[in-house]
Amino acid sequence: MSTINGSYSDNTPSTTPAGLPAKQNVAPVKAVDTQSVLKRLQSELMSLMMSGDPGISAFPEEDNIFNWKGTIHGSNETVFEGTEYKLALSFPADYPFKPPKVKFETGCFHPNVDVFGNICLDILQDKWSSAYDVRTILLSIQSLLGEPNTSSPLNTQAAALWSNQEEYRKMVEKHYKPSTA
Amino acid sequence: MKKIEGENGSEEGEIKREGGERKRWNRKPERAQGSLSLGIGEARSFYEVKHLQQCVKDELIDLSDNNNLDHDYVYGFRIETCVDRYMEYDEEVMMRAAVEQSLFENGGGRRPTPANEAAIKGLERLMIKDNEDTNCSICLEEFDVNKEEKRFKVTMPCKHEFHESCIIQWLHTNHVCPLCRYQLPVMGDSKE
């Protein structure tokens, strides 16, 4: 799996079954247990399909279970109501110990989303926990839409406009280009 | 090159002051030299030259702090990255690129801190006796007595339980409980 997110696995220390970690200062690349990652992703897919959360969905790409496409609907009563956003999720070989990379594929005018679709959300970076999953990620991003963090924006224009919800809605509509796929 | 020399002394001078030893600086690889000249040749205004100068200087200081001066590849690469960024984008996009880089490249500067070894070894460890109706929140699999490779579970001080292999790998990445963020001591808190 080294071709997938090779950089991700660089600092994962190895462990021994006895619970005595073979610790080195800067651990070399670990032989990643692909099987357990696959298992976990399959298990997530199952529960995501069973849960039937309204407004979110995700499914692996045809040929690669490490790459998923997700969809988020803008929540009602927010300026994003009625819009739908496609996201790309790419899981590292040492998932869930490292977070997946998540990007908007549909343009999104939002204080915490940049022009490339990158999302500034703490749980996808330093606040990631191995107990999070695709479902919680998508729900978090969905709630981020309606509750942006305007104090450290990636899109300063969006952050400045947030206080004017009426004008903001116009910008959302202007920037919104739903995918035809 | 001339503009930089006129503005703030020669590059050599700058680095000699910041980095310390002259001979290290003299080992500057050709690649970096070339990129530097290229970048400055393309610069159009005083502001841009100043900006590039600061940018290059920061990179070099950073490099010398990290003792990376001996690695020619890293050295050349970092400088080129800096110059490329400077040349291709306006300031806003450049800033965004920097943010993006720090956030998305391998965790950037906000990498989580692993727990220390002593704390990990001190965790309560039990053999799984009966099939339990609960799952490990890391692998999402049940605590199953029949699973050869996952026969032990570990209880964190916050009472959350995980497969031993799962939680140990996690704690080597981050010192907090995956479920409640209870903090174990980090590396450096005490000697192992």
More confident residue, A171 or B101: A171
For an interface test with A, which of B162, B169, B186 has the most A Cβ atoms less than 10 Å from its Cβ?
B169
pLDDT of A121 higher than 60: yes
Q: Tens digit of pLDDT for each residue in B23-64?
A: 344 343 433 333 333 333 344 445 555 565 565 555 555 555
Q: What is the structure's pLDDT at B98?
A: 63
Q: Distance (Å, rounded) from C-alpha B153 to C-alpha B139?
A: 12
pLDDT reading at B94 higher than 90 = no
CB pair distance less than 8 Å for A19 and B173: no
pLDDT score of B177 more than 90: yes
Most confident region among A45-59, A91-105, B90-104 by mean pLDDT: A91-105
pLDDT at B102: 56
Q: Which of A156-160, B93-97, B110-114 has the lowest mean pLDDT?
A: B93-97
CB contact under 8 A, B106 and A8: yes
Residue A120 annotated among the catalytic residues of the structure: yes
Indicate yes or no: CB of A101 within 8 angstroms of CB of B152.
no
A108 pLDDT band, cuts 50/70/90, is very high
Lowest-confidence segment of A32-36, A135-139, B111-115 by average pLDDT? A32-36
User: Is the per-residue pLDDT at B87 higher than 90?
Assistant: no
Q: Give the model's pLDDT for residue A177.
A: 85
- A interface mutation test: which of B116, B139, B151, B177 has the most A CBs within 10 A? B139
Distance from the Cα of A165 to chain B's closest Cα (Å) equals 25
Please give the pLDDT value at position B30. Answer: 39
B120 touches chain A (CB under 8 A): yes
Q: Closest CB to B96: pick one of A98, A101, A114.
A: A114
Run of H or E residues at A142: helix A134-146
Among candidate residues A56, A120, A137, A144, the one labeled active-site is A120
